Amino acid sequence: MGCAVGRRPVAEGSTMNRSHLMFRRSAHRAAVTVVAALTLVVPTGRAQTPVAETAGATHPVHIHTGTCAELGDVVVPLNDLAAPEGEFTGPESAVAVTLSENIVDIPLQDIIDGGHAINAHLSNDEIGTYIACGDIGGVITTDEGGRQEMMIGLAELDDSGYAGTVWLGPSADGTQTEVSVILLEPAATN
């Protein structure tokens, strides 16, 4: 591995390398999430439920065989979608999100080739209520560092008001896949 004059070599997978990749991925995810957020219809003149009140919301999310039109078995349960930890700032009208960060033991190309979908459920108590789903397929892009990635959308199901995005990217050795799910919570009116 070469390095520029005056710089220390950075080991593959070091915190600095991962932070840089996370920042680029986060910026890309943020841009896609903004576009998805613009598709939400927030009634004018009505106040939304403050984000703090929806902070406890969690939604199970899974990779299934099949497509959203015909979901098959769960292949991989992902971490539940949950509100990010931290203190709320900004206007109460901000659209709330829930997040799920995962590493699964299946290569990205196998997930794509196998015909899979990502499906979000309302809650563990209402696991049969599907709120958003996205078929895993689309354009694989390559970032400046040569890393491949794919973004897919999660479409609203049954007028649930939920929509979102998913970022998928292979691990450094290609044997695993990073899966980041962002779900936009619907705007509840008072």
Between residues 19 and 133, the one the model is more confident about: 133
Assigned domain for 134 exists: yes
The candidate with the shortest Cα–Cα distance to 165, out of 35, 68, 53, 58, is 35
Between residues 45 and 82, the one the model is more confident about: 82
Assigned domain for 3 exists: no
Number of domains the chain contains: 1
pLDDT digits (tens, 9 = 90+) for 129-169: 999 999 999 999 998 888 899 999 999 999 999 999 999 99
Assigned domain for 130 exists: yes
Which residue blocks in 61-189 are alpha helix, DSSP H?
108-113
| 10 and 133 Cβ atoms separated by less than 8 Å | no
Assigned domain for 91 exists: yes
DSSP 172: T
- Classify each residue of 4-28 as buried b or exposed e, where b means 16 or more C-beta atoms within 10 Å of its C-beta: eeeeeeeeeeeeeeeeebeeebeeb
Kindly report the pTM of this predicted structure: 0.73
Assigned domain for 101 exists: yes
Assigned domain for 139 exists: yes
Domain encompassing residue 157 = 16-40+55-184
User: Which pLDDT value is given to residue 60?
Assistant: 98
> How many other CB atoms are there within 10 angstroms of residue 58's CB atom?
15
Assigned domain for 50 exists: no
Assigned domain for 100 exists: yes
Residues 6+ apart with CB under 8 A from 2: none
